[in-house]
Amino acid sequence: MATLPPSVPRGNLGHGSLGQRRNRWHELVVWWREIDRVLLALVLLLMAIGSVAVAAASPASARRLSTNAVHLDDLHFFVIHLRWQAVGLLAMLGASAMPKETARRFGVLLGFAMLVALILVPVIGHNVNGSKRWLNVGFSFQPSEFMKPAFAIGIAWIMTWRARDPDMPVVGISAAIMALIAALLMLQPDFGSTVLFAGVWFVLVLLSGIPVKRIGMLAGAGVVGVVATYFLYDNARHRIDNFIGGGTAFDQVDLAHKTITAGGWTGTGMWLGTRKLALPEAHTDYIFSVIGEEFGLLVCLAVVLLYIALVARVLLRLMKEEDLFTTLAATGLTAQLGGQAFINILVNLRLFPSKGMTLPLVSYGGSSTIALCLGVGLLLAITRRNPFLKREAFSLRQAGAVL
């Protein structure tokens, strides 16, 4: 009779690999039960709409950027976008599998790394479309995009310090960090992202429970800051003056507005729009206008409602949340995503100066797509909730009420 080699234990043949497979399956089941599946579905739906929208906008941008030396296929940007979306989905799912504490540590470490990267951008960064926002470390990436989710988590973490030490000047510390990031962004220049970071910071400060008097002081300081920026910061002044006075910036948003309304309520049909061919960044900044022309204002309204549903879903999930960090971090991440969508849509509707800001989860992008998916993954990780513990806590509360 054949015997097993001495190196193979008789009782454990194949049990190790089988046990590992069972553990992985168990972890997958736990992940699926704990994440917010409604939020995940809304995000995936927006990404699917983005794929179709980039396919519609790709010919306009490819033809505009083609030269005699380099000819781009009509679906050039669509094919690349699918690749970035695949990478983004992997980043999202990987981040969503993190325990809450791991997600917090990852966000803080990412923030430190991107702060260093932002400091390096003015020194060794390279220009794209007149702005120095990119670093090349074997591959090009935009540090400010990855700073967005890290900033929300980092500021939320700082705000929780007050729970351990009420005298900790968390507002001052966070304001100093915000000022440093704003200065680095405005050097690029990137005034749009500066406004977005400031908005997220203000939301988190409000939620941290500061006195009403200090809220008024912060609001006044914000107004003074905006006025000072107009007079002292050329990039912001030129954008605002051009928008109000009918300059180049106004011409772009006016063209975007005409494009979005050209298709009426139901649109011209896929690849049948013509106004999109004149848009400067049809696949990125002005993709919402392309959606309007080819698919109609009703689809634009549906996209807006999807963003509202995404924000509302997170806020409803946080209503019964007792952990301060979870509340602040999830709100900050949602404010960042919703705020960016709000700004982009207002620009396309000719209600805001051009900011060079993409439509989250919809526009074409490399750094922006991966960073946004990473931010959504961290949001899913932070808001994970054990349904069995929730049910047990509810039963205990009911039992206490009866007693």
Query: What is the spatial distance between Cα 113 and Cα 286, in angstroms, rounded to a whole number?
Result: 31
Query: What is the spatial distance between Cα 64 and Cα 66, in angstroms, rounded to a whole number?
Result: 6
Residue keyed to tokens 């030129």: 238
Q: Of 375, 329, 368, give the one whose Cα is nearest residue 91.
A: 375
Give percent helix, percent strand, percent coil of the chain, each to the nearest 5: 75, 5, 25
- Find the distance separating the first CA and the last CA of the chain, reported in whole Å: 68
pLDDT, residue 262, reads 87
Domain ranges across the chain: 102-278+286-356
Query: What is the spatial distance between Cα 20 and Cα 260, in angstroms, rounded to a whole number?
Result: 53
> What is the 3 state secondary structure string of 46-115?
HHHHHHHHHHHHHHHHHHHHCCCCCCCCCCHHHHHHHHHHHHHHHHHHHHHCCCHHHHHHHHHHHHHHHH
pLDDT, residue 386, reads 67
Calculate Rg over the CA atoms of the chain: 24
pTM metric for this prediction: 0.84
Query: One digit per residue, pLDDT tens: the chain, 403 residues?
Result: 445 455 444 444 445 677 677 777 877 888 888 899 999 999 999 999 999 999 999 998 888 888 767 788 889 999 999 999 999 999 999 999 999 999 999 999 999 999 999 999 888 877 776 677 878 877 788 999 999 999 999 999 999 998 888 888 888 899 999 999 998 998 887 888 888 999 999 999 888 776 666 666 666 766 676 666 666 566 556 666 565 655 555 567 778 888 898 888 998 988 888 888 888 888 888 999 999 999 999 999 999 999 999 999 999 989 888 889 999 999 999 999 999 999 999 988 888 777 678 999 999 988 899 999 999 999 999 998 766 555 444 444 544 544 4
